[in-house]
Amino acid sequence: MSMGSVLVVSNDACTTKVLSASMQQLAMSPEVCVEASAALGLLSQRKFEAVMVDLQLGDQARAVLEKIRVSPSNRTAVIFTISDSDAETAAAFKSGSNFVLRRPLSPASIDRSLKVAYGLIVRERRRYFRCPVEIPTEVRRPGMQVVQGKALNISEGGIAIASSVSLKTGVQVRVEFILPERESQFAVESTICWCSEGCFGLQFTSLPPHLASELQEWLSRRLEESLPASVADKFRKSDKI
C-alpha cells in the first residue's frame, strides 16, 4: 500500500529519476508529468498527498501552483518546489510552497526534506484514508424507522454503509456504531451525500472532539498496519510529531 500519491511536475529526466527513487523508499507513489497541462488535468481528477513542481518550467510551474491552491481535493496537499536560486526559493515560499528542494539535487538532500515533511504527508494521507471495515450500524432520523446496515468503509469525514433500505441525498440523520476493538459508542450527526443500489454514504457534520480524536487514532493504527514494516517504523515516528 502507498503511503501517499505524489504528483511530480518536471521535464528534467534526471530530476524525476532521483525524486522517484527517494519517494519509493518511503512507500510513496510518484506520478510524473513532463507538461503542466497534464498535471492540471490530474489535479482536477485525483487526490494527491503531495505535489512537487520544478520551477524551471517558468509560467507553467506558476500555473500548477495556482491550481493547487484552488483545487477542492488538493488545496491541503504538501507542496514542494525545485529551485535553482535564492530568488526562486524566496518566491516559492511566498507562493505557498511548504518545502523547497535546491539544486543540485542528491539522494541525501531529498531524503532529508522528505523525512522532515513525512509527518505532514502522513496526516494528509490519513485525512482521506478510507479504511475497509465491517461493523453493524444504525441510522436514525425523527419520524423515520431505524435503518439497520453494515459499514463498508470509514474515514475521518464519513462512512459508507450497505443496506437494503434506500435513502435520499441531503437527508440529515444520526449514525450509530462502535469501532472494532473499541468500546465507545459513536452517535454522529451526518448528511446522506450519495446513494446507489444497496448502499449509501454519510458525511459527518458534527463529531465531538473526543470521538474525532479516537477515530483519528484508530485510523492511524489501521493505516500503519497496512504498510511494510520498514515504512511503518517511519510512520510511527512521524505521526507523533
- Mean predicted lDDT score pLDDT of the chain: 90
Handedness of CA 129, 134, 140, 145 (dihedral sign): positive
pLDDT of residue 125: 83
- List pLDDT tens digits, range 167-201: 889 999 999 999 998 989 999 999 999 999 899 99
CA dihedral 39, 43, 46, 49 (to 10 degrees): 100
Handedness of CA 159, 160, 165, 166 (dihedral sign): positive
Query: Where along the chain do its domains lie?
Result: 4-128, 131-214
Fold agreement (4-128, 131-214): no
Average pLDDT over residues 11-33: 92
Q: How confident is the model at residue 122 (pLDDT cuts 50, 70, 90)?
A: confident
Please report, as a single letter, which amino acid is at residue 147. Answer: V
Question: What percent of the chain has a predicted confidence (pLDDT) above 90?
Answer: 69
Residues paired with 5 in a beta bridge: 29
Interhelix angle 229-238/209-225, rounded to 10 degrees, is 150
Long-range interactions of 129-136: CB distance < 8 A, separation 24+: 129/155, 129/156, 129/219, 129/222, 129/223, 130/154, 130/155, 130/160, 131/155, 131/219, 131/222, 131/223, 133/179, 133/180, 135/177, 135/178, 135/179, 135/180, 136/177
CATH of domain 4-128: 3.40.50.2300
pLDDT of residue 142: 82
Average pLDDT over residues 120-127: 83
Domain spanning 131-214, CATH class? mainly beta
pLDDT at 235 over 70: no
Interatomic CA distance for residues 12 and 10, integer angstroms: 5
CB-based contact 140:173 (threshold 8 Å): yes
Alpha helix ranges (H) inside the chain? 13-24, 36-45, 59-70, 86-94, 107-128, 209-225, 229-238
Average pLDDT over residues 81-87: 95
Q: Nearest-CA neighbor of 19 among 8, 27, 35? A: 8
Average pLDDT over residues 212-221: 90
Average pLDDT over residues 138-154: 92
Average pLDDT over residues 107-134: 87
pLDDT at 42 over 90: yes
Record the pTM: 0.73
pLDDT of residue 63: 94
- Which residue is it, cell 505557498? 96
